[in-house]
Structure 1
Amino acid sequence: MKFTEGYWLRSEKANPVYAMHAYQVEKIENGMRIIAPGHKIESRADALDVGTITIEFKAVGPGIINVKNSHYQGYKDNKIRFDKNLNPQSVDVEITASEAVMTAGEVTVRVDRDNFGYQFEADGKILTSCGFRNLGYFRYNKSFASMLPSNDYLKADYDPYLLTELSLAPGECVYGFGERFTAFVKNGQVVETWNEDGGTASQVAYKSIPFYMTSHNYGVFVDHSDNVSFEVASEKVEYVGFSVPGEELSYYFIYGKDNKEVLSRYTDLTGKPALPPAWSYGLWLSTSFTTDYDEETTNKFISGMEERDIPLDVFHFDCFWMQEFHWTDFSWDERIFPDPAAMLKRYHERGLKISVWLNPYIAQGTEFFREGLANGYFVKRKDGKGIKQLDHWQPGMALVDFTNPAAANWYAEQLKKLLDLGVDCFKTDFGERIPVDVEYFDGSDPAAMHNYYTYLYNKTVFELLEKEKGKNEAVLFARSATAGSQKFPVHWGGDSSASYASMAETLRGGLSFAMSGFSFWSHDIGGFEMTTTPDLYKRWVQFGLLSTHSRLHGSQSYRVPWSFDEESSKVLEKFTKLKLGLMPYLYAMSIKAARTGIPVLRPMILEFPADPAVKYLDQQYMLGDSILVAPIFNKAGKVDYYLPDGNWTHYLTGEIKKGGCWYSEQYDYFSLPIYIRQDSVLAVGSQSNQADYDYLTDLSLNVYSLTSSVIQTEVFTSQAELGLKVKLEKTADQIKINLSKLPAGLRIILHNPVKANSVSGANYNFTQDEAVLTPVEQEVIVNF
Structure 2
Amino acid sequence: YYRTEEEIMAAANELRDKDFPADVITFDGRAWQDTPTRYNFEWDPSRYPDPARVVSQLKALDFKVCCWEYPLVSVNNKDFEAMSAKGWFLKDQYGDTLRYAWDTSAKTSPFGNVLTPLPVSGIIDFTHPDAYAYWRDKHNELFAVGVDVMKVDFGEQVPAEAVAYNGESGRLLHNVYPMLYNQCVYEASAGFHGDQACVWGRAGWTGSHRYPLQWGGDPQSDWEGLAGSIRGGLSWGMSGAPYHSTDVGGFYGKEQPSGELYLRWVQASIFSSHFRIHGIGMREPWCFGPEIEQLARAQFKFRYRLIPYLMGAVEEAVRTSQPVMRAMAMAFPADVIARQFETQFMCGPSLLVAPVLQAGGKVKVWLPEGDWYHLWSGQHYQGNQLLELSADLEQIPVFGRGGHALPLGPEVSHTGQISADALINELVCFGEVTAPICIWQQALRLQDGQLHSQQQADIVLRQLAEG
> What TM-score, normalized to structure 2?
0.91
Q: Pick which of 341-350 and 657-666 moved more.
A: 657-666
Q: Where does structure 2 lack aligned partners over 5 or more consecutive residues?
A: 104-117
Q: Which residue of 2 aligns with 1:558?
A: 282
Q: Does 1:300 align with 2:10?
A: yes
- Give the drift of 1:601: 0.2
- Give the drift of 1:721: 5.1
Of Structure 1 and Structure 2, which has the larger fraction of its residues in strand? 1
Question: Is the Cα–Cα contact under 8 Å of residues 404 and 434 in structure 2 kept in the other structure?
Answer: no
**C-alpha root-mean-square deviation of aligned residues, in Å?**
2.1
In 1, Cα distance between equivalents of 2:8 and 2:192 = 27
Q: Which residue of 2 aligns with 1:588?
A: 312
Q: Does 1:355 align with 2:66?
A: yes
- Give the drift of 1:293: 1.7
1:600-633 CA-partner distances (Å, limit 9, x unpaired):
1001121112222202211210000001111111
What is the one-letter code of the residue matched to 1:516? S
SS at 1:580 equivalent: helix
Q: Which residue of 1 aligns with 2:51?
A: 340
SS at 2:79 equivalent: helix
What is the one-letter code of the residue matched to 1:554? G
- Out of 214, 230, 235, the position equivalent to 1:512 is 235
- Out of 273, 278, 281, the position equivalent to 1:548 is 273
- Give the drift of 1:317: 0.7
Q: Which residue of 1 aligns with 2:102?
A: 392
- What's the % identity of the aligned pairs? 30
What is the one-letter code of the residue matched to 2:224? A
The structure whose Rg is larger is 1
Q: Which residue of 2 aligns with 1:198?
A: none
SS at 2:220 equivalent: coil
Q: Does 1:706 align with 2:432?
A: yes
- Give the drift of 1:380: 1.8
Q: Which residue of 1 aligns with 2:194?
A: 470
Q: Which residue of 2 aligns with 1:612?
A: 336
- Out of 168, 179, 201, the position equivalent to 1:455 is 179
In 1, Cα distance between equivalents of 2:134 and 2:437 = 51
What is the one-letter code of the residue matched to 1:702? V
Q: Which residue of 2 aligns with 1:222?
A: none
For 1:711-750, list aligned pairs within 5 A.
712-713=438-439, 714-717=441-444, 719-720=446-447, 741-743=453-455, 746-747=458-459, 749=461
What is the one-letter code of the residue matched to 2:204? A
**Alpha carbons of structure 1 residues 562 and 663: separation in structure 2 relative to 1, 3 Å:** same
For 1:34-53, list aligned pairs within 5 A.
none
1:42-90 CA-partner distances (Å, limit 9, x unpaired):
xxxxxxxxxxxxxxxxxxxxxxxxxxxxxxxxxxxxxxxxxxxxxxxxx
What is the one-letter code of the residue matched to 1:303? N
For 1:205-284, list aligned pairs within 5 A.
none
In 2, Cα distance between equivalents of 1:709 and 1:399 = 51
Q: Pick which of 704-713 and 294-303 moved more.
A: 704-713
Q: Which residue of 1 aligns with 2:259?
A: 534
What is the one-letter code of the residue matched to 1:529? Y
In 1, Cα distance between equivalents of 2:371 and 2:200 = 37
- Out of 223, 226, 242, the position equivalent to 1:500 is 223
Q: Which residue of 1 aligns with 2:88?
A: 377
Question: Is the Cα–Cα contact under 8 Å of residues 73 and 123 in structure 2 kept in the other structure?
Answer: yes
In 1, Cα distance between equivalents of 2:365 and 2:6 = 45
In 2, Cα distance between equivalents of 1:387 and 1:410 = 17
Q: Where does structure 1 lack aligned partners over 5 or more consecutive residues?
A: 1-286, 725-739, 755-768, 770-784
In 2, Cα distance between equivalents of 1:709 and 1:569 = 37
For 1:80-229, list aligned pairs within 5 A.
none
- Give the drift of 1:698: 5.7
For 1:312-351, list aligned pairs within 5 A.
312-320=22-30, 321-351=32-62
In 1, Cα distance between equivalents of 2:61 and 2:219 = 31
For 1:566-715, list aligned pairs within 5 A.
566-692=290-416, 693-697=418-422, 699=424, 700-706=426-432, 708=434, 712-713=438-439, 714-715=441-442
In 2, Cα distance between equivalents of 1:709 and 1:368 = 58
In 2, Cα distance between equivalents of 1:665 and 1:709 = 28
Question: Is the Cα–Cα contact under 8 Å of residues 364 and 387 in structure 2 kept in the other structure?
Answer: yes
- Give the drift of 1:517: 0.9
Of Structure 1 and Structure 2, which has the larger fraction of its residues in helix? 2
> What TM-score, normalized to structure 1?
0.55
Question: Is the Cα–Cα contact under 8 Å of residues 21 and 413 in structure 2 kept in the other structure?
Answer: yes
